[in-house]
Chain A
């Protein structure tokens, strides 16, 4: 079963809302960009591991609220297969696959 366009839109909304929440904690020059291609986490990434933790938990909560789906973004194996935290686009794809499963 694949996600509908409306559900995919909700996934992106969840990511953006979580970014908005976490950006409140970050200094002006360190805010997470909402550009789908901007580096997120990794060697060229913009955020540190603590911010990533907060972002993961915030996204999981938003997905639960919007799509009533319980997902875990911390499974290292599937996350690295998907290069999940490279940028928002890869993260969105990873989340969609987790919900599909």
Chain B
């Protein structure tokens, strides 16, 4: 099923049609349909509520202006006219107020940072001192950052990155004189790429795991050939240092919640010995959530590891120095990101840090702990194989499920979960924090969050369920559970919560499954949930006269009534 395009509106003080074209016509996801406000009238457009542009519902708004086009006092400043700095601040705060008002109506608002052309020198050496042009530009950007930080759906984008990516041709005055375009098309291309990456990450399409080769990726040389002592890693050697630095960058990604796993054609004992014993290894064995080190086809190994970790192929990145292996994985899993990898280890860190697929809209405690959570799951599965039955196994873990109402504290993580979860997701509805909060405030709606903890670790906020009360029925709208806690009967506990809440209601509870390419596990659960499945449809129902009990294998702490 092809996702619907995102509708966007671009507002600018310059001709921004090139960005519109790139957003609409470049093949990279997400597909976008974009409208452009009339050229050169950003503030007028923003304050004119009667403008027909505001009638259509847009998913995202981009406001990309030049500081001197938006703030008249800054325009005077760059002409070296005397101005009262208070005026710049007043104009900026006026813009911020308008922006905040508009932001309430959009899922996402993106504001590229203000920049000066790279050739602009201002006052030279004193331009970064108080009341220099660059000083004020930084002050404006800083104020914007401060003011926008508290808005969960507004993001400041780094337009300097786009200009740097375009190189010396980034600003071509001829384009300005001919068409009021301040930048070369290469800048708009980089901007479109960045905006699309941002929209993807805000929509929950973020990569979660990197599959790494070992030889000539984590270290220089082939361990099977040269032995541990002769690997190029760290030390006083430029190549060794570059491999060690690459490992450091991978460790940084792991620290912010990206999982690492090894897929390597090697002897397992030899390779693991190198990981454990090489003194310059930055990555340790427990930094990897799994590995397949053998002589099997890498695509087969990836299939097994993804199944073990309960992750879909679309969540993965594959890094390998061998173009043949890259091609094999690319063809076997079109959804896996397989970046073209540089031939020299000196460029590895740069290639890794340039990937936009790890961009995220949230960064919470749970993200930092992701690797240990997966390792906990591995341990749990080990215990499972020794347990007699699933209920016995769950009981032995003392799985505790804490149910809370959606509140201001758990809202950011709940919105993140709603937007990132694909597999156990009934409707794959995506909402910003503001939209989710607004939804929960309706008197006919209820939203609960689910936290899961057991003897091995605390998985944190991993579930969300919402319902909508109607005349003769109560409908489950969102039913979302992280793949980290699938199959522990948490799903049944969530259903039990909804039904127990509806106690006394005489109608039916319904759940309508909306299929996506990724949420079949959710359908499988509902088919076995006890709900009645309507023939030839994906609608499930439960007669509310009947009780639905919490699984007795779980310890339930319902704090939603407190």
Contacts and interface: CB of A to CB of B under 8 A. Distances in A.
A92 B169 CA distance: 23
B25 A57 contact: no
A50 B15 CA distance: 10
B178 interface: yes
B313 to A, nearest CB: 28
Contacts, number: 45
A28 B26 CA distance: 10
A24 B169 contact: no
A57 B17 contact: no
B22 A57 contact: no
B174 A57 contact: yes
Interface string B19-54: 001101110000000000000000000000000000
Interface in A36-68: 49-50, 53-54, 56-58, 60-61
A58 B188 CA distance: 14
B18 A24 contact: no
Interface of B is mostly: helix
Contact of A53 (B21, B24, B25, B179): B179
A69 interface: no
A21 interface: yes
A26 interface: yes
B184 interface: yes
Interface residues of A, number: 17
Contact of A50 (B17, B24, B26, B174): B17
B511 interface: no
A25 interface: yes
B181 A25 contact: no
Nearest to B27: A24
B175 interface: yes
A74 interface: yes
B15 A57 contact: no
A70 B89 CA distance: 43
B172 interface: yes
Contact of A57 (B26, B175, B188): B175
A32 B237 CA distance: 51
A21 B185 contact: yes
Contacts of B15: 50
B31 to A, nearest CB: 12
B254 interface: no
Contacts of B185: 21-22, 25, 54, 57-58
19 contacts: A22-B185, A24-B26, A25-B18, A25-B21, A25-B185, A25-B188, A25-B189, A26-B25, A27-B21, A49-B179, A50-B15, A50-B17, A50-B18, A53-B175, A53-B181, A54-B181, A57-B172, A57-B175, A61-B172
Given A24-B189, A61-B172, A74-B178, 11 more contacts: A24-B22, A24-B25, A24-B26, A25-B18, A27-B21, A27-B24, A49-B179, A53-B178, A53-B179, A54-B185, A57-B172
